[in-house]
Chains A and B, each alone.
Chain A
Amino acid sequence: MKRMVAIVEDEPAIRDNYAAAFAREGYLVRTYANRALAMSAFSARLPDLAVIDIKLDEEPEGGFELCRQLRALSAELPIIFLTARDSELDAVSGLRLGADDFLTKDLSLAHLIARVNALFRRVEALRRPLAAAQVVRRGALTLDSERMQVQWNGQVVLLSLTEFWIVHALARHPGHVKNRQQLMEAASVVLDDNTITSHVKRIRRKFQSLDASFDALQTVYGMGYRWVDSVQG
């Protein structure tokens, strides 16, 4: 059975291009121009994944509202936010609303589809028992690349897909400095330095909310970041 992807986007050209791309990948695509149309359709039938633009028609943050309503209908439904502005990354923590990833529109279609695929893989992986081979342990850190899930001291750290890939790239080779360019490639995003910095900060905050003494993710000024395996050392 084909998976159904819902695209909520007010710009018709973008919407149709995305729809074409997803259709080509074999997904069933439903497109909605605004929140009202989308909600009425979702209340009838939930899609398997939703790609939502933050700004919808006249509502500057209509996407967040839609996300909230959608989360109310389903806790597991993977949701990807799309935005035209980097600043919205900071303005709202889309992930607080339960989104699984948060992307800018300059992401290529191929990368977008790769993320959608990854999210579907994660949904499937979460349904299967834990496969030990895919799990990397670094001290307190447990990195499950199959489920794209991170645990710190046994507690799940809710990271977005981009954040997971950043942590993944750093933690696989502790002590190695990865510069921002390398991290962007690992996360399949094209961002500028400041956006990477804010991603890293967000990751730190998420770990620190579980463990106040967390300092494994270190900044090497002028170069980049590295993962320090504090427990081992």
Chain B
Amino acid sequence: MSLRLKLLLLAAATLVLPWAGCRYAQEMESALREGEQDSLLAVAQTIAASLQGRGDLLYREPPARNPAAAADEPPSTPPPPAAGPYDLRPILLPAAPFIDGYPDEWPQHSSAWQSFGRGPHHFAILSGVFERMLYVLLDVHDRHFVFDAPGANALDPQTFGDRVWLGFDAPDGTPNQVFLAAAGPGSITGRRILTGEYGQQSAVVEPRIIGAWQPAPQGYRMELRVPLSMLGEHFGVLIDDRDARGALPVSYGTLHSDTLQPAGRLIAASPELTGYLARFIQPGLRLSVAATDGRPLARADALDERATLGPQRGILAQLYRRFVDRPGAHQPIDAAASIYDLERRQVIGSLQVTQTQDRWLTLRDRALTRMLNKTLIISAAAVIAIVWFAGRLALRLSRLRAASESALTRDGLVTTFAETHARDELGDVARAFSRLLGRLGEYTSYLRTLAGKLAHEIRTPLTIVRSSLENLEAERLSDSAGVYLARAREGTERLNAILLAMGAATRVEEAIGSAERLRFDLGPVIVSAVSAYRMAFAQRRFTMALPDGPLWIQGAPDLLVQLLDKLIENAVDFSAPGATILVRLRHEPETLVLEVDNPGPPLSAATQGRLFESLWQSRPGPDSRLHFGLGLYIVRLIAESHGGSVCASSLPEDAGARFTVRLPA
């Protein structure tokens, strides 16, 4: 893994910041939620307390029963909502049903259907409240429905068909009876029978009570609407089922069939309760009051009204929410409180307060957005800073590496080194490298001059040995001693040859120093030298390729011939007898290029870099001749002293080696 990548990963660790921010936001959300829950409970309790003892609102109990009447009654009297068999319990309708006799707008499969009657005479009733109206849906079982005679006097018993009676108290307790009679499918209107001053009766249209009649598979269906303001505590329905027009009816229902007084109550909240609740309503809030059996009585709903806290959320905020929101976070929270009677003995109902999350989610989002923006900016800045730093570090390291690599190939001649002026640890490394290479350089130059120095130091003791041996030769010696003497002489001669070879590079350096430079034509010099090689190395063939015209060059011809000598010696050593060695001279812009190609083994990559170093050789096996790896080093010395360069490469298809010397023309 590169340093750059590691640092990048390190920078990525700063992304923990936004994560921690999200965690914080979630915790803040929990706290807010709890607080909101508490305050909601307080709201519920407050509203419930304000409804304490308000049976008139909850159940439209007559105000007379309280507070004055309540004081007279024994406190143990059970409160009115004790359920009776004929009590009607309207549900809270979500919308106003269209009065057409069809049950489409009513809740399907409601459990609030109530059935009355027995045997073939029975009906089901579903009642509901929406706003200030009571709606009633009657499903009457009747095999032979008889319409009223159309256009007839509603009071003429001979014209009577099936009728539906409504009996109820007015809010002030006055009994009321209204009947509905259909002359055909469609709308019908309630009518009440009034007894005039002189006992004459008349059927008066009660326009506030409207309904609709439609046939049903088992009988008929009637849908009614009655304003709650007309109704008191009690309410009942009576079916007059006649099998023929004007026949005696079979009456059944929740009215006393003789007095038409309701037997049961209408357990529905007063329309004022909704208005009362509406006073507490706020956007995003829903208040509902339920009876003791859990059936809702009234509701004030503003849940869908969006809280107008703060502006619409931005794209970023919406993005953040995806990370922060936990499942269920958008569920509304609710709180419930019981509503008691005046004496706080009995629960007469319950109040539930529901609130959407929007209110406090907006609060949270605002804080969250701000915090996440900040942490993201910080993270981004950290990542950018670290990437920049990593890039710089990698750059410096690669500079250092390049410097150390080039220092190695430059023969240890270290002049300047990258990064040595930096004050940090990298600078220390660079300085340490620099020192190391400096010492390496000293050591290398010591090694390079070692051969020369050694040759010089050995020469004096060798002279002692040789002169002693020569003196010994003059003595009279036995034959065997002469043999030993001859061997000793031979040994010293070899030693001397070694010393000469070892000092060769030093002498070349001296020769370079003292050589005279002149401007001369290199062509004839090369021609002459190559013709000499043809004689000297009869087992090799030499071909020459020279351009036309003079090849003027500034330099020392002796040294350049020596350079060629060494290249040819090398080419001969590494080629087989009979091989052809090619010497080529060519022009390049401002450069003369001398190439010597020999067939033979190609150069290995490891060899190429070191070929021209002092005391380095790659000869495959032992050789009768003395080699100190100085030949190509001398080539380099001479080439560089002429301002040129030398390099070696393998011939195409590894057919051999090529040595190229470039000299400024």
Chain A residues in contact with chain B, CB under 8 A? Answer: 11, 13-14, 17-18, 20-21, 24, 84-87, 90, 105-106, 108-110, 190, 192-195, 197-198, 201, 219-223
Contact = CB atoms under 8 A, between A and B. Distances in A.
Interface string B485-511: 000000000001001100110111011
Contacts of B460: 11, 14, 84, 105
Contacts of A13: 464, 467-468
A107 B326 CA distance: 104
A87 B510 contact: yes
Contacts of B557: 219, 221
Contact of A21 (B462, B474, B504): B474
B513 to A, nearest CB: 8
B295 interface: no
B158 interface: no
A25 B430 CA distance: 67
B212 to A, nearest CB: 134
A1 B654 CA distance: 75
Contact of A108 (B466, B528, B536): B466
15 contacts: A14-B467, A17-B464, A17-B470, A18-B467, A24-B471, A84-B460, A86-B503, A87-B510, A90-B514, A106-B462, A190-B500, A192-B503, A194-B508, A194-B510, A221-B561
A109 B529 contact: no
B527 to A, nearest CB: 9
Contacts of B467: 13-14, 17-18, 21, 109
A106 B496 contact: yes
A203 to B, nearest CB: 14
Interface in B297-329: none
Given A197-B558, A219-B558, A221-B529, A106 B514 contact: no
Given A84-B456, A220-B532, A195 B463 contact: no
Contacts of A11: 460, 463-464
A149 to B, nearest CB: 27
Nearest to B529: A222
Contact of A222 (B499, B500, B506, B532): B532
- Max chain A Cβ within 10 angstroms of own Cβ: one of B529, B536, B561: B561
A87 B506 CA distance: 9
A222 B470 CA distance: 35
A38 B468 CA distance: 24
B510 A222 contact: no
Contacts of B528: 220-223
Contacts, number: 97
A85 B460 CA distance: 10
Given A86-B503, A87-B506, A198-B514, A105 B463 contact: yes
B533 interface: yes
Contacts of A24: 471, 474
Interface string B442-484: 0000000000000010011011101110110010000000000
B406 interface: no
Contact of B533 (A14, A108, A109, A222): A222
A222 B557 CA distance: 10
Shortest 4 CB-CB distances between A and B: which pairs?
Answer: A222-B532, A222-B529, A17-B467, A109-B470
B243 interface: no
B56 interface: no
Contacts of A220: 528, 532
B565 interface: yes
Contacts of B466: 106, 108-109
A183 to B, nearest CB: 14
A111 to B, nearest CB: 10
A109 B470 CA distance: 7
B14 to A, nearest CB: 69
Contacts of B508: 194
Contacts of B503: 86, 192
A228 to B, nearest CB: 14
Interface in B571-610: none
Contacts of A14: 460, 463-464, 467
Nearest to B501: A192
Given A220-B528, A221-B528, A86 B468 contact: no
Contacts of B532: 220-223
- Max chain B Cβ within 10 angstroms of own Cβ: one of A106, A110, A222: A222
Nearest to A82: B463
A222 B474 contact: no
B525 interface: yes
A195 B503 CA distance: 12
A224 to B, nearest CB: 9
Given A105-B459, A105-B460, A222-B530, A194 B470 contact: no
B46 interface: no
B507 A192 contact: yes
B550 to A, nearest CB: 16
Contacts of B529: 221-222
A17 B507 contact: no
B570 interface: no
Contacts of A195: 507
Given A87-B506, A110-B470, 16 more contacts: A13-B468, A14-B467, A18-B467, A85-B459, A87-B510, A106-B499, A192-B503, A193-B562, A194-B511, A194-B562, A198-B511, A221-B525, A221-B528, A222-B533, A222-B564, A223-B532
A65 B429 CA distance: 53
Given A14-B463, A219-B558, A222-B565, A108 B470 contact: yes
B199 to A, nearest CB: 165
A24 B511 CA distance: 39
Contacts of A222: 528-533, 536, 561, 564-565
Contacts of B471: 17, 20-21, 24, 109
B188 to A, nearest CB: 140
A11 B462 CA distance: 12
Interface in B525-567: 525-526, 528-533, 535-536, 557-558, 561-562, 564-565
A30 B510 CA distance: 35
B463 A84 contact: yes
A193 B564 CA distance: 14
Contacts of A18: 467
A220 B528 CA distance: 7
A201 B503 CA distance: 20
